[in-house]
Amino acid sequence: MQSQTAHAFVAISDEELFRRFQQGEEQAFVQLVRRYKHRLTNFVYRQLGEMDEAADVVQEAFVRVYSHRNAYNPSAKFTTWLYRIALNLAASELRRQTRRRRYLKDGLLSGFAVRAGELDPLDPAHRPDSVTESILTLELVQKALLQISPPLREVIILREIEGMSYEEIVEITGVELGTVKSRINRARAQLQKLLRDVYQESRVPNAA
């Protein structure tokens, strides 16, 4: 019965689901959580670099969505509203953890699907050596992301990982279009340099 209910929601837009939720249909909210929980966790994780904190932020984001259901403007895109809530919560968490930020731990991404390629180490189609190389690449990218400033990090994640349009990023961040484009260009340049430096360091053999 549960799978049949979920299947019935597949062709319904986010905005229509939220409208139904506002009218008291709780299963519509459950479906929205299913649609965006993992994607939103990936987004917040890349902001914070810690999976536990990301899960807490996402949980709080959905609590806010639930409790502030009447604050949603039906003319707005649901995803931009949801991401704006999550982004604000992630920014608050970043301020709290400024003195305790840690780098990515070994294997943290091993079971985490990302937008680029949807890596799944449990998929038999992936060879172990290929999976290991992909995970190491993701770790390097995440490590580089944590070294650029939060304003640059958030826009490059929204653009390159979440695939958001410039207009959606403007709505989510509340930053003007010109500033968004400038930050994305600066983030790209900084990441390219960081990744190039890290790659070159990884290619230097250990001294005997």
Encode the chain (208 residues) as per-residue pLDDT tens digits: 455 555 566 779 999 999 999 999 999 999 999 999 999 999 999 999 989 999 999 999 999 999 999 999 888 899 999 999 999 999 998 888 664 444 333 333 333 334 433 434 344 444 444 444 555 667 888 888 999 999 999 999 999 989 999 999 999 999 999 999 999 999 999 998 988 876 566 555 554 4
Q: SS3 sequence, the chain?
A: CHHHHHHHHCCCCHHHHHHHHHCCCHHHHHHHHHHHHHHHHHHHHHHHCCHHHHHHHHHHHHHHHHHCHHHCCCCCCHHHHHHHHHHHHHHHHHHHCHHHCCCCCCCCCCCCCCCCCCCCCCCCCCCHHHHHHHHHHHHHHHHHHCCCCHHHHHHHHHHHHCCCCHHHHHHHHCCCHHHHHHHHHHHHHHHHHHHHHHHHHHHCCCCC
Enumerate the domain spans of the chain.
1-103
Q: Classify domain 1-103 by CATH architecture.
A: Orthogonal Bundle (1.10)
Whole-number pLDDT of residue 153: 95
Whole-number pLDDT of residue 107: 35
